[in-house]
Amino acid sequence: MRRVTALPAWLRWPLYAGVGIFVLTLVETLDDTDRLTSASASQSMLRWGVPVLLAGLGGLFAERAGVVNIGLEGMMILGTWFGAWGAVNYGPWVGLLTGIGGGALGGLLHAVATVLFGVDHIISGVAINILAPGITRFLASEIFTGYPGGSITQSPRVPGVGHFTFPVLAGGEVGGWLSPNLLGSLGDRDWFFVSNVANLARGLLTQVSLVTIVALALVPLSTWLLWRTRFGLRLRICGEHPVAGEAQGIDVYRYKITAVTMSGGFAGLAGAFIASPELSGIYLEGQTTGRGFIGLAALIFGNWHPVGVLGGALLFGYPFGLGLRDLGGTASHSLLLVNAVALAAIAAWSLSKGRRTNAAVACVLAVVAAAWYLLSETVPDWWVNILPFAIVLLVLVFFAQRLRMPAADGQRYRRGEH
């Protein structure tokens, strides 16, 4: 296990994904289903995971600078309204920019309150989450009610930016020529594990929104920016030891405000994506449904690293996407067996580390999941909705000692006090 954790994040997380796909393949074989590793499952996972990813990256920049941003939900709400307004009036790409701007305004407000005036980070974030729905409702009543199809709670239809299917790998077109579909061919061969990986990969490369490509590109870009540039080094110093940063001549206030404003911009882009045709195609009041908080959960799950945030976002998006296409509830029911296997593995790992209490708790939960699976044929609709939050709780319970938040995260900093 130590050898695995010593690997770089870009290599460690694909390894975890490979193990997860292997478990899904085993469960599919035992449960006689093909939904868990279908192309549609991964396609839906990616679509539902993008807002969580963007919110998580937003939280990452804020917390790496030492500011807790639970106001991501409110900033995302601002992004949905401003993104829809910009797209309806000026086109989809301008809509994305206005969505970013709306979220950034919320981030700037949070930064001014917490950094300049020393307001408690949690109080400021809660205030933004309360304020944002009121602002968007007022704006909708003043503007959208005058548009055809608009009202105080919704906008007219929002145009999209388009999709892209990768040629050769997933059968996309090149200049009107329909290219081969290598992953589709591998998936149709029904080879154990290999075909399952091919099907999941094909879903990730078929009809991908251009916004999704941008969001995925932000993961390596964020990694480079935070760990390979002077700006990133100074920003992380502000979240680890701002007093030392001040002694080195770093303008801590400026970096914190910049990071939190960027955080709001990421959340605003997530909101604009939710209002785009990729998910809803319209602004609707209350349509974020807590994804800002799930983004914070993905941040914790990913141990405050962009690649980990991506892994958490996809993991959280998977049950949502699977549940939407699972009308009979059979595939969601199969996830119970997946959970049982995962908890059994956690129990074995905890026992090998001498953590008997953790091992006993994991073993009990594994037995409960297995019994639920054996004694039922379907699961309630709420099961896939609470599963992402249950995963976060499990990570905090069993792997809290491996999580490391920035040392000065959430602490009040005043220039010159030390």
* pLDDT one-digit tens code per residue, 26-81: 988 888 777 888 898 899 999 999 999 999 999 999 999 999 999 999 999 999 99
152 lies in some domain: yes
pLDDT higher than 70, residue 325: no
Please count the other Cβ atoms lying within 10 Å of the Cβ belonging to residue 127: 16
What is the radius of gyration, based on Cα positions, of the chain?
22
pLDDT higher than 80, residue 374: yes
40 lies in some domain: yes
Average pLDDT of the chain, as a whole number: 90
pLDDT on residue 224: 96
Give the global pTM. Answer: 0.93
Of 130-139, 163-172, 387-396, the one with minimum mean pLDDT is 387-396
340 lies in some domain: no
Residues 99/82, Cβ–Cβ less than 8 Å: yes
- The C-alpha atoms of residue 35 and residue 41 are separated, in whole angstroms, by 7
pLDDT higher than 80, residue 338: yes
Span 200-228, pLDDT tens digits: 999 999 999 999 999 999 999 999 999 99
Residue type, 183: L
pLDDT higher than 90, residue 5: no
345 lies in some domain: no
Residues 266/58, Cβ–Cβ less than 8 Å: yes
- The C-alpha atoms of residue 54 and residue 182 are separated, in whole angstroms, by 30
What's the domain range around 209? 36-169+179-323
- The C-alpha atoms of residue 31 and residue 308 are separated, in whole angstroms, by 30
342 lies in some domain: no
Please count the other Cβ atoms lying within 10 Å of the Cβ belonging to residue 292: 32
Of 103-107, 130-134, 179-183, the one with minimum mean pLDDT is 179-183
Q: State the burial class of residue 242 (Cβ atoms within 10 Å of its Cβ: 0-12, 13-18, 19+).
A: buried
pLDDT on residue 195: 93
Strand residue runs (E) in 167-274: 173-174, 177-178, 208-209
In CATH, what number is assigned to the domain containing residue 157? Answer: 1.10.3470
301 lies in some domain: yes
What's the mean pLDDT in 375-383? 82
Q: H or E element: which one contains 163?
A: strand 163-164
Contacts of range 141-144, beta carbons closer than 8 Å, 24 or more positions apart: 143/85, 144/85, 144/283
83 lies in some domain: yes
Domains in the chain, number: 1
C-alpha dihedral, 385 to 391 to 397 to 398, nearest 10°: 160
Of 404 and 418, the structure prediction assigns the larger pLDDT to: 404
80 lies in some domain: yes
pLDDT on residue 331: 78
What's the mean pLDDT in 382-388? 79
What's the mean pLDDT in 176-205? 90
